[in-house]
Chain A
Amino acid sequence: MTIDVDQEGVADYVVGTGLEDRLLQGRLFMDHVNEAVDGLIASQLNGRMTRRQLATGVLAIPAVTALIAACGSDKKGTTVATGATTGGTTAPAGADTTLAATETSAATATSAATSAAGGTLRVAAQAPAKTLDPIAMQDLGAYGVVAQCFEYLAGLADDGDIGPGLATEWTANADSTEWTFKLRDGVKWQNGDDFTADDVVATMENIVSAGDKLGGSLKAGSAVAKDATTVVFTLDTPNASLPYLVSIYNPQSAITPKGWTPGTTLDAQPDGTGPWKLTKYDPTTGATFARNETWWGGQTPLDEVDWQFFTDASSMVTAMQSKSVDAIVQFSIVGGDALLNDPDFETIAMRTTTHREIWMNCTTGQFTDKRVRQALALSLDRPALIQTLFEGKADLGNDNVIAPLYPFFSDKVPQRVRDTTKAKQLLADAGFPDGIKATLHAVDLQEIPQLAELVQIQAAEGGFTLELAVESDATFYSSQWCPSSPCAGSAELGIVDYGHRATPDVFLLKAFKTGGDWNSSAYSSPALDAAILEYQASAELDKRTAACEKIETIMTEDTPAAIPYFYNYLGGFSKKFTGVRLSALGQMLLDKAATA
């Protein structure tokens, strides 16, 4: 059963991105297919295997989807399988299900990776936009730095899904309202204290008091320490994907020591259970980390990690290209072509659920009628957007957040295709026979300015006269997108960015559920809220898929936001190194990195 899912994942991906020719030429592709068939994703990087699915007989699975990085030229392009992820489903039957279990010994992993000890690795990363406050941070720059020191209950597995982190295994009761996390033994804080269940409970209380509440799943007292190495989460509503909300894919859930005051920043109080100790932090130039000799995972091959900050994405690529740095956390395909063709560069490509939301305010302004919103969505030429912005390396979006990558994605909801005649008709029906004039706000980030320009051009043919306002992130996030908290007063039309999540919970709960923190569409639909609850409560794949079909149907019909694509995340490193791992949220993990 598992295996089928995996195979389909691979096939979908290949077709979806039109890479067939290149891939079929590459021997690596076949290797990966074989691995996929076995359900084992053996990473080239360190030989650590995740046998979780087979070992536990769990169904739904992340799948090897990503695999493929052969983005470069046929001759030089290299392939690293770093999985993108997905999942969030659990047990087929039976009361208690172990979701993550088998864990290969860290020591083995390390020794496998260690070909040459010592050395420094320099990383090019976007400078953190704000402080290194593990709970309040919002940008990939901060996520990356914080993830060097602080760890999560669930970490990053080699296939890109979540795997054992500070918790070694977790189980849920039958209706997923009670989750038990078994914590790792022998973990120490960098200040010498032992890591215990109390730290986890304190962190969760901080998260609740800061207002985030893991997307509304927690309240004060939800997390309780059963003993020193066991934490039990009791939830009001069932949530089968809780482990994802306390994983590296919800960066704000980093485990901090007890006594940590909310608002404290990592640089103010360098600590953590992770492999690296922060030795120097300068918000403008970078951060350096030294090996944490007491890390539970053993000794890291590298002595030191040097994060260099950039304010300009373009200079980051230049730095990588000129070998001023050894790794780059993220780059975009437009302008990054040179890296893809660089024989010394190992690309990490991940199929992800990273997307852009072209939100339309459903309660005030000209977009309150859903026909108007549908008209805008119908004006978009999605394949053209994907071709121009990502050279084809993205999945089609269907104006809902259930990405095709998720195993519980339902393909029964028809894909919206461009139809400008229908768009104009809908506008006329909604009372705008002469079209609509509006301002499209967008944040100046990655491909978004170009997306805004393309949307403007395409929407013109559907009857929309859009003016563009591309603004710096400081302006955009404070005056156009959710200017007040809880989210209210957003612009009537805007483009905002959403990073990859292993499950769509955060997208659904924060951006589309009634009253969500990031609900810039001011959208409220009892039907969707009910479908979200149903999704969260369903532990089996088929039930989850059924719930998702409802979500997809409602969102695509109501179109609170146009979501044109889910694009592939690109990062990479110099071939002088091995073992560099990367989440699609800017968290570059270097515990196993070594000089080649």
Chain B
Amino acid sequence: MIPTVDTLSAATIERKQARRENWHLLRRRPSFIIGSVISLFWIACAILGDKITPYDPLTYTTKPKLSPRSGHWFGTDKIGRDVFSRVIAGARDVLLVAPPAALLGVLFGTILGTIMGYRRGWIDLLLSRVIEALLALPVILIGLLILTLADTSPFLGSITFHSRKVLVIYVVSLLFTPIVARTVRSAVIGERELDYVTSAKLRGESGRFIMAREILPNISGPIIVELTVRIGYAIFTVSTLSFLGVGIQRPSPDWGLAISDGRDLVRANVWWPITFPALAIATLVIGVNLIADAIQSVYER
């Protein structure tokens, strides 16, 4: 059968319809709704930041280590900054870093995985081994390794502040690339023997066209699922790296940083500077994971 323009657009329409149907299903899932509310709340905090906080999150306004009270609902931290304001404003940096990192990771991973799965051959063999090798190490460990080694190098060590965030984005996306590539590769391998790919080949389409226009739209489901799952992991990873001192830098009100900073106070029963940022990380990750969960169950239906 020689495919015509009609059959192509029919496939497109079909996909559009499926997408609409999925969206319809998704909207009804309670986990999606709850997850979205939580995530949107933090996104709003990130966008508005210090415009809505009662105090400047970066400046001390009163005595340090005040317990929660009216005026300072979450108390004040080690140097007298308002914890409530910092928790609200703390959403910004992690949301500036984690989702782009996840997005980039999925992008790199998808490109790599598609090529590997479609081309096969020695490239696939070699890259598969490298990916297996990298997956044998915990993500945090590789991230730490790269960031500390980068720290001791004069070139990368001189990168600070905003560009440090860019560095973290790249590193985290790099960490996610292999695992995404593996997922995408197996999805592509599942697709490449299907009729529509064969017919595209017969039609004389280029490999690049087939990968981008034929296969990718058909595996968009797993990719979207992967993306949402990765965003959750990215928040987790970025927070941990900041906690270990190699992620987001001071004086950012970042939650991971705040926890590492306030940890020694807890012993003296000053629990508020770490508890609230901890809850913030937990709620955001849970929110994103709820969305991921809902999307996954819709696509895998």
Contact = CB atoms under 8 A, between A and B. Distances in A.
A338 B268 contact: yes
B152 A469 contact: no
Contact of B264 (A335, A452, A478): A335
Contact of B251 (A337, A468, A474): A468
B292 to A, nearest CB: 33
A456 B148 CA distance: 25
A478 B152 CA distance: 8
Contacts of B80: 388
A335 B268 contact: yes
B78 interface: yes
A469 B264 contact: no
| Range of interface residues on B (Cβ < 8 Å) | 20 to 34
Given A467-B161, A472-B151, A478-B152, A321 B267 contact: yes
Given A334-B78, A452-B250, A457-B60, A475 B157 contact: yes
A524 interface: no
A449 B267 contact: no
B64 A479 contact: no
A457 B77 CA distance: 15
A475 B60 CA distance: 28
A21 to B, nearest CB: 19
B264 A314 contact: yes
The prevalent SS among residues of A at the interface is helix
B138 interface: no
B263 A314 contact: yes
B265 A472 contact: no
Contacts of A474: 148, 151-152
Contacts of B263: 314
Contact of B152 (A313, A336, A467, A475): A475
Interface string A535-546: 000000000000
A468 to B, nearest CB: 5
Interface residues of A, number: 33
Interface in B142-168: 148, 151-152, 154, 157-158, 160-161
Nearest to B252: A468
A318 interface: yes
Contacts of B250: 449, 452-453, 468, 470
A469 B160 contact: yes
B75 to A, nearest CB: 15
Given A388-B60, A457-B59, A469 B161 contact: yes
B249 interface: yes
Interface in B220-235: none
Given A450-B78, A456-B251, A335 B160 contact: no
Contacts of B261: 449-450
A454 interface: yes
A288 B235 CA distance: 42
A439 interface: yes
B79 interface: yes
B53 to A, nearest CB: 16
A388 B245 contact: no
A454 B79 contact: yes
Interface of A: 313-314, 317-318, 321, 332, 334-338, 388-389, 439, 444, 449-450, 452-454, 456-457, 467-472, 474-475, 478-479, 483
Interface of B: 58-60, 64, 78-80, 148, 151-152, 154, 157-158, 160-161, 245, 249-251, 261, 263-265, 267-269
8 closest cross-chain pairs (CB), A and B:
A335-B264, A314-B264, A337-B268, A469-B160, A338-B268, A475-B151, A338-B267, A467-B161
